[in-house]
Structure 1
Amino acid sequence: MASIAVYSVKGGVGKTTFAVNLAWCAATISRRRTLLWDLDASGGSGFLLGVDPRKKRAAQSVFERDQPPAKLIRETAYEGLHLLPADESIRTLGRQFEQLGKKRRLAKLVEGLGKEYDRIVFDCPPVLSEVSAQVMRAADLVIVPLPPSPLSSRAFEQVVEEVRGSGKKHPPILPVLSMIDMRRNLHKEARDANPKWPIVPLASAVEQCAVERRPVGDFAPRSPAARAFAQLWTAIERKLAKG
């Protein structure tokens, strides 16, 4: 089992779209039994997968008791892809972790889930907090979507500091240039400066994920965006294989 965190301290970078599409790639392309764990209280991952929230707000209860989270896991429309949804109850999750005093609480839950899943993808909250620190201790790889802008570069530096501060054996980071439009000079410069970073283009198909409530590979499989996510997932699998 391997766990992948999709993380950024800056909102509006496509973090949730990345998490959903990569989880779909894991389940559909690689045929991995996959869990998408939404830790963002906005619950965007469930929305994009067409999984409507339950009225009971219980996402936080996974961490309150020493019990497996199986009761909260939901099936999706896609074979091999399950969702552990978020709700507003996890807004206070950081404080709860601090009260528990268990720095590897999330990592222990992931170890247990590893008996059922080959891949776990985290949709992380866009903040620096104890929640993100817990994720860094549990993750094998951190994906950071980066639209080409000075603010994104600053946010990436903050992510690097956060990951390195999680411990000596911190997970590797894979930055990804997102929302790239090669007609724009700033975007060309970002690409030229980081030629080895994967790219996900600025595309209407990506924006349509929120309208269709489906991964782009499902409703537009031949689109450049679908190919980009598939290529990114291949790069992730290779990186995981190298350890």
Structure 2
Amino acid sequence: MASIAVYSVKGGVGKTTLAVNLAWCSATISRRKTLLWDLDASNGSGFLLGVDPRKKRSADSVFADGSEPLRLVQATGYANLDLLPADESIRTLDRQLDRIGKKKRLAKLVEGLAKHYDRIIFDCPPVLNEVSAQVMRAADLVIVPLPPSPLSARAFEVVVDEVRGSGKGHPPILPVLSMVDLRRSLHKEAREANSKWPAIPLASAVEQCAVERKPVGAFAPRSPAARAIAQLWTAIERKLAQK
């Protein structure tokens, strides 16, 4: 089993859309049993997958009382892909984790889920707090979507510092330029400056994910965006194979 965190220190960079599409690639292209764990209180992953959250248990209960995470897991409309949805309770999760005082609570939960899944993908909240620190301790790889701007490198440095601060043996980091429009000179310059980074184009198909409530590959498999995301997933699998 391998766990992959999709993480950014700011919102609006396509983090949740990328997490959902990578989870779909894992389940559909690689045919791996995959869990998408939404740790962002907005529950964007559930929305994009067309999954309406149940109200029986709050999402933070697995951290508070050690409840079995599988009790909160919901099936999606796609084979091999399950979702552990978020809700408003996640907003105070960092304070709860501080109060509990167990720095590897999330990692322990992941260990238990490893019996059931080949890949766990985290849709992380865009913050620097105890939640992000615990994700870094649990992840085998961190994907960082970055908009093509002069601030991209700076934002990436912040994430690198955060990951390195998680302790020895920190996970490798893979930066990804998101929402790239090569018609814009600034985007073109950022692409040329970071030519080895994977890039996801700014495309209507990606924006339509929120309308269709489906991953790009499910409704526009031949689109440039779907191909770019599939190529990124292949690169991720290769990187994991090198560990």
TM-score normalised per structure 2: 0.98
Q: How far did 1:14 drift? A: 0.2
Q: Is 1:158 the counterpart of 2:158 in the alignment?
A: yes
1:64-109 C-alpha deviation (Å, 9 max, x unpaired): 1223211100000000000000000111100111111110000000
Counterpart Cα distance in 1 of 2:97 and 2:89: 13
Q: How far did 1:199 drift? A: 0.8
Counterpart Cα distance in 2 of 1:241 and 1:55: 38
Q: Can you give the 5+ residue segments of structure 1 that lack an aligned partner in the other structure?
A: none
* Aligned AA (1:39): L
Q: After TM superposition, where is structure 1 displaced by more than 3 Å over at least 4 residues in a row?
A: none
1:22-46 C-alpha deviation (Å, 9 max, x unpaired): 0000000000000000000000000
* Aligned AA (1:183): R
Q: Can you give the 5+ residue segments of structure 2 that lack an aligned partner in the other structure?
A: none
Greater shift, 183-192 or 10-19, is seen at 183-192
Structure 2 partner of 1:50: 50
Q: How far did 1:187 drift? A: 1.1
Structure 2 partner of 1:199: 199
Identical residues among aligned pairs (%): 81
Counterpart Cα distance in 2 of 1:154 and 1:94: 25
Structure 2 partner of 1:130: 130
Q: Is the 8 A contact 1:41 1:88 kept in 2?
A: yes
RMSD of aligned C-alpha atoms? 0.9
1:112-154 C-alpha deviation (Å, 9 max, x unpaired): 1000000000000000000000000000000000111123332
Question: 1:93-108 counterparts in 2 under 5 A?
Answer: 93-108=93-108
Counterpart Cα distance in 1 of 2:150 and 2:190: 10
SS at match of 2:115: coil
TM-score normalised per structure 1: 0.98
Structure 2 partner of 1:117: 117
* Aligned AA (1:5): A
